[in-house]
Structure 1
């Protein structure tokens, strides 16, 4: 016969104990819930979380044995206090949780998860509106280059983009990766040189400067002996970025930004 919960136990406390018992099989089953029912709840809740994570992290899952993958997912389910009630945001919390884990094995796992989450996040996010004055074929030196509305530039120690393509890599290979969603709603990745990455950062920080001004700023940072030559080379780079969809076009440069 089941025990009766004390009338002094608040509903909130009962819910807390029930949730804790679902998340952690080591926790005692609440007195007013049968062990059989609790076992069903535990399996259903964990399998839901596991399914969401497996769909979001195909490359991470492929790099772990079934036992190690489920053990990692179980630790996350047991230890992590979620800040969102939405399942589609849970992969982001898992990626952030992995980055806080010391001595993670294999060591690239957290970066790989962050990369996969970045791809998913860009695919699912609503796109901000582009400038009304956008000129898709505008002059990239006279006008201010406009980046694709959804993008993310980040450093990685490992070649995670190649790992996701199935290459069996595990050594460090530092890269600056630009991820963006193109006009066909496809998330794409480009490994950038330090100069290209810095140019993207300058466009992000000063979105109303003309391409010419941005390239001259870059030349100044580099102490380039021939700034005009860098402008010429930079124009070719900007054109390549527009062809790939990284740049959506141009908008008028602000006064003093030309």
Structure 2
């Protein structure tokens, strides 16, 4: 038994070395030696297949980013990600996340201890820094476009309104009760409140501004019952209140009014008016979870 172990270990080491040589050539075909006993034609075919798969996942997730960047810059970013990016997840859909992280990380943090030659490190580092300098909206647009994939893949529940055996209240009466009782506030599903310096939600492949201007924006994002991502622009105060609703256990109307008064120095009357306006709006987009017990 002991006599066969060294040979077995040696075989594993040989395989690992061959595998490393294989992946190194896939990433760096112009500098890495081609693995032994493999035709260059076959290696190139395999590399093209992997590169095209990686590119397609990225382009599918970030079509607006691709449209707004010069084609040469976009191609160089994907090429550098393919060479030096690290994908730790086994899921294909995470390739897009790793691409975003690759572009957003500090170059020194991303490439140190990766075995990247100094000259190549400088080229890649300079490319990423220069791209962010020329296109300061890039980080926010990447994050916003990635949210579409994230919201689609995330498991979320949708709570139906619960009236039990009781009749559904007439809408006007329902709204009156909702706005005049200190009831617990619950949303029907998980929401994301995001803040951007640029109005990225207004951009598209066909409507990409030549010179994007700063316009601070708060957004509410969630997936509706039809599994479609909904995006709404929010006033910053409403963004703050919705964050409170989602983060505080058993959040009530009274608590929202109290916290809004503290944060803004509004009078209690002004805060109550603002909170009621928010609740009316949440009811209008079917995001407010109504429970019969809370209306008794």
TM-score (norm 2): 0.74
Higher alpha-carbon Rg: 2
Partner of 2:154 in structure 1? 125
| Structure with more of its chain in helix, by fraction | 2
CA contact (8 A) 2:162 2:290 kept: no
- 1:121-147 per-position Cα deviation (integer Å, ceiling 9, x unaligned): 112222136499699967255322222
Structure 1 residue 108: Cα displacement: 1.4
CA contact (8 A) 2:162 2:292 kept: yes
CA contact (8 A) 2:158 2:188 kept: no
Mapped partners of 2:94, 2:216: distance in 1 = 28
Q: CA RMSD in A?
A: 2.8
Mapped partners of 2:292, 2:34: distance in 1 = 62
Kindly tell me: are residues 70 and 23 of structure 1, through their superposed partners in 2, closer, same or farther at Cα, counting changes over 3 Å? same
CA contact (8 A) 1:53 1:91 kept: yes
- Please list every run of at least 4 consecutive aligned residues from structure 1 whose deviation after the TM superposition is greater than 6 angstroms: 131-138
Kindly tell me: are residues 206 and 250 of structure 1, through their superposed partners in 2, closer, same or farther at Cα, counting changes over 3 Å? farther
* Number of residue equivalences: 247
CA contact (8 A) 1:144 1:252 kept: no
**Structure 1 gap segments, 5+ residues each:** 1-5, 254-258
Partner of 1:157 in structure 2? 197
Mapped partners of 1:107, 1:25: distance in 2 = 32
**Structure 2 gap segments, 5+ residues each:** 1-9, 106-127, 169-173
Choose the corresponding residue for 1:15, options 13, 19, 22. Answer: 19
- 1:238-257 per-position Cα deviation (integer Å, ceiling 9, x unaligned): 2102322443446978xxxx
| Structure with more of its chain in strand, by fraction | 1
Describe the SS at the equivalent of 2:178.
coil
Say whether residues 1:113 and 2:113 are aligned partners.
no
Further displaced range: 129-138 or 182-191: 129-138
CA contact (8 A) 2:188 2:289 kept: yes
Structure 1 residue 49: Cα displacement: 0.6
Structure 1 residue 61: Cα displacement: 1.3
Mapped partners of 2:50, 2:284: distance in 1 = 46
Kindly tell me: are residues 167 and 39 of structure 1, through their superposed partners in 2, closer, same or farther at Cα, counting changes over 3 Å? closer
Structure 1 residue 8: Cα displacement: 8.8
Partner of 1:238 in structure 2? 279
Further displaced range: 143-152 or 33-42: 143-152
TM-score (norm 1): 0.84
